[in-house]
Structure 1
């Protein structure tokens, strides 16, 4: 019972982060910087989703890999169920597939690096997990090849200069994926600060 109560905050935050990200990823950042429109580059979901890796890594540090996987699974089930309501079924499928795959990979990588210098496990696991998550999510959520899952987003499929900067034209969702990944990396780096602050509080003395 005590273990279950200890896990509830991790599960609740995980579900909240993923649901918020699934909702916000549908909205490009409509802000112009000179000739560059960030709507061609970013969605708001990029700023919230990296927090999921922070939650996973803190749970892994505190309880161990097996329990961290349980946190991921419970957060996944709640988040997908709510995302069908708050977003679209296609976004929910794409998010669920990307989230579960990337977070479980994050747990495995973190666990292998657990005994290295404190910042290395969360940094490497977040970088690799973010790359995999971005690849799976955006290809399933917005590419025409995945339209079998559900109706595609016409705006996402429109072509525009890659990253809003280059002469090469590409579907907007590819620029969104690259832009979101860059922001995820920056936010992931920023998450090392709260991880470092919370780690001594949550660290368990022995991981089985």
Structure 2
């Protein structure tokens, strides 16, 4: 979780300069959605209390490491990125964990991870980009929209590793505890 937050906080500073999307996407849009996969896997395999501990540890370490590494030259935007990231991360990840937990017994396996990721991604996007970039020259609304579209796409793609990891880890845990 810590590495995901660190990478995302660093990479959000760099526009995605391909396909003429530099005003729509940053590189951080591609790494951060993996945090929702980590949260959902922790929740599925170890429950809500363990997941909340993972989130809190990720939050503290993410803030501390981001303050240290993600700013090459400390300025107001860098500070706002760290504050926005921390606020958005904590609120969105806890929301994701709670939504997933409420839906965990849904008969369709993909509903809890997908729905919790989409809703919490929307909250995360709004909080992060408005805190980090509101009132600056950064085209934050278009960056936020691009970021959210990428989060939706990655949330869909993450369903495959989620299903595979849960199945394999349940098999491993089942065989370990049956000894």
Which residue does the alignment assign to 2:73? none
* Structure 2 unmatched runs, 5+: 71-77, 175-179
Give TM-score, length-normalised by structure 2: 0.88
Q: 1:185 aligns with which of 131, 152, 165?
A: 152
Give distance in 2, aligned partners of 1:108 and 1:39.
34
Alignment of 1:47-58 (within 5 A): 47-58=30-41
Work out whether residues 25 and 45 of structure 1, in 8 Å CA contact, stay in contact via their aligned partners in 2.
yes
User: How many correspondences in the alignment?
Assistant: 164
Q: Radius of gyration: which is bigger?
A: 1
**Aligned residue number for residue 84 of structure 2:** 94
Between Structure 1 and Structure 2, the one with more strand by share is: 1
Q: Distance in 1 between matches of 2:68 and 2:144?
A: 24
Pairwise CA RMSD: 1.3
Write the mapping of 1:64-83 to structure 2, written as runs, cut at 5 A.
64-83=47-66
Partner in structure 2 of residue 143 of structure 1: 134
For residues 44 and 50 of structure 2, what CA distance do their matches in structure 1 show? 10
* Aligned 8 A contact 1:22 1:95 in 2: yes
Larger CA deviation: 196-205 vs 173-182: 196-205
Shift of 1:90: 1.7
2:15: which partner in 1? 28
Q: TM-score, normalised by structure 1?
A: 0.76
Whole-angstrom distance in 2 between the partners of 1:193 and 1:200: 11
